[in-house]
């Protein structure tokens, strides 16, 4: 039979209508081949991680080196955490740039920590933050505001005015339905302030108690105290640290992670609350015994969306070693995770420094009873 043009046109229109009807039946046609996640996976508990490293310093000899290698080898771990927190023990006071005992660090260092290393929170409550006086602290917080506006990095521990103090003390963090408050303060500053503002948060029980209470009122599920305290170079906490730790626990904090002594100190639990008295140095030019060893502490908070339960797991501790120039790298400093490098003596330019790392690691673990 001969097909007429009219019949061809009718058949074409019929096929088009049928195809259109099929597409309407499957608006997301490709999705029919996707394997859906089981309900158990969709409702699995969320874990929020907060990694904290100790003193990030910039001594005079560090100013002469390429800073990009300083934390490069631990940066992937910092970036992988939900929040990475570091104690920045210096002001950005402008030129001339200086190291110990009166620090003034270039702005690029803070930008490097934020952009390249993944630090999310700068801790500014420490004894060196006023090394360049109130003008230096004002300038420091101005730069940190620029970094916050550009990269979302926040600071806590100092404030330019009452409004900023209320916004940052406590500093509230939130992820996956978990609200975490950071309360950072220092025993004092090396240079005194000659004005009410700006100022650093001090170890004043009324102020700290108020910050903890405010954290709970703002919905904090967990409160982490970050004190700058203790006796330098002592592997065991002093009586003041122990007394303050007990008081902080009585006020309802959920974890305590300290800094300042420039060495790792003992860890313990007080009424079930983990206390890490000192993380030691993360990066510095220090070489006094035990001062090149540090800790990275990861706090983990679990939220079960099905039951609403929120709990904190035991902190994870990883030892760090700060290699000086000509030890691991030819021209600069590098901080490494010891366990990742514990079998790589041949990679050291100066193998005796590897031996120093291993012996220091073992000595401090034996003294402090810390297992990583």
> Does residue 136 belong to any structural domain of this protein?
yes
CA distances from 43 to 140, 307, 318 (A): 43, 10, 30
- Give the integer Cα–Cα distance in Å for 253 and 247: 9
Degrees to nearest 5, angle at CA 126 with 183 and 284: 120
> Does residue 278 belong to any structural domain of this protein?
yes
- In this prediction, residue 10 carries a pLDDT of 47
**Closest alpha carbon to 292 in 328, 267, 268:** 328
Q: Is the peptide bond before 302 cis (omega within 30 degrees of 0)?
A: no
| Mean pLDDT of all residues in 25-54 | 63
The domain that holds 160 is classified in CATH as 3.60.21
> Does residue 361 belong to any structural domain of this protein?
yes
> Does residue 43 belong to any structural domain of this protein?
no
pLDDT for 275 beyond 60: yes
- Model confidence band, residue 40 (pLDDT cutoffs 50, 70, 90): very low
> Does residue 20 belong to any structural domain of this protein?
no
| Mean pLDDT of all residues in 251-268 | 98
> Does residue 185 belong to any structural domain of this protein?
yes
| Mean pLDDT of all residues in 128-143 | 97
> Does residue 139 belong to any structural domain of this protein?
yes
Mean pLDDT of the chain: 91
| Mean pLDDT of all residues in 46-64 | 98
pLDDT in tens, 81-124: 999 999 999 999 999 999 999 999 999 999 999 999 999 999 99
Instruction: Give the residue numbers spanning the domain of 67.
Output: 63-368
The number of distinct structural domains making up the chain is 1
Q: In percent, how much of the chain has pLDDT > 90?
A: 85
pLDDT for 64 beyond 90: yes
> Does residue 358 belong to any structural domain of this protein?
yes
| Mean pLDDT of all residues in 356-366 | 97
- In this prediction, residue 371 carries a pLDDT of 84
The residue among 320 and 306 whose pLDDT is bigger is: 320
- In this prediction, residue 42 carries a pLDDT of 56
């Amino acid at each position: 039979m001969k097909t007429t043009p009219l019949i061809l046109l009718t058949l074409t229109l019929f096929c088009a209508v049928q195809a259109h009807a099929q597409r309407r039946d499957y608006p997301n046609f490709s999705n029919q081949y996707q394997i859906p996640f089981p309900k158990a996976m969709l409702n699995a508990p969320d874990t929020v991680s907060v990694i904290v490293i100790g003193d990030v310093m910039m001594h005079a000899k560090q100013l002469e080196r390429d800073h990009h290698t300083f934390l490069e080898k631990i940066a992937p771990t910092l970036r992988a955490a939900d929040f990475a927190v570091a104690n920045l023990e210096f002001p950005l006071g402008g030129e001339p740039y200086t190291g110990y005992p009166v620090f003034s660090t270039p702005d690029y260092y803070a930008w490097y920590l934020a952009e390249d290393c993944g630090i999310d929170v700068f801790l500014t409550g420490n004894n060196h933050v006023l090394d360049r006086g109130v003008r230096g602290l004002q300038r420091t917080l101005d730069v940190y505001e620029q970094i916050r506006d550009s990269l979302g990095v926040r600071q806590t521990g100092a404030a330019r005015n009452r409004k900023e103090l209320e916004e940052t003390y406590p500093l509230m963090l939130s992820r996956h339905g978990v609200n975490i408050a950071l309360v950072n303060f220092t025993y004092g500053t090396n240079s005194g302030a000659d004005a009410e503002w700006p100022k650093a948060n001090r170890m004043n029980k009324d102020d700290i108690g108020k910050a903890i209470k405010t954290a709970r009122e703002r919905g904090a599920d967990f409160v982490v105290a970050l004190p700058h305290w203790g006796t330098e170079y002592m592997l065991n906490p002093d009586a003041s640290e122990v007394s303050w730790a007990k008081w902080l626990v009585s006020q309802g904090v959920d974890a305590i992670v300290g800094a300042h002594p420039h060495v790792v100190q003992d860890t313990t639990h007080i009424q079930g609350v983990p206390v890490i008295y000192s993380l030691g140095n993360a990066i510095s030019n220090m070489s006094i015994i035990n001062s090149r060893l540090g800790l990275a502490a990861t706090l983990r908070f679990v939220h079960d969306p099905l039951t609403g339960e929120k709990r904190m797991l035991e902190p994870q501790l990883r030892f760090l070693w700060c290699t000086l120039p000509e030890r691991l790298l030819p021209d600069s400093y590098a901080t490494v995770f010891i366990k990742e490098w514990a079998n790589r003596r041949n990679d050291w330019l100066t193998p005796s420094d590897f031996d120093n790392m291993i012996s220091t690691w073992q000595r401090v673990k034996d003294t402090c009873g810390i297992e990583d």
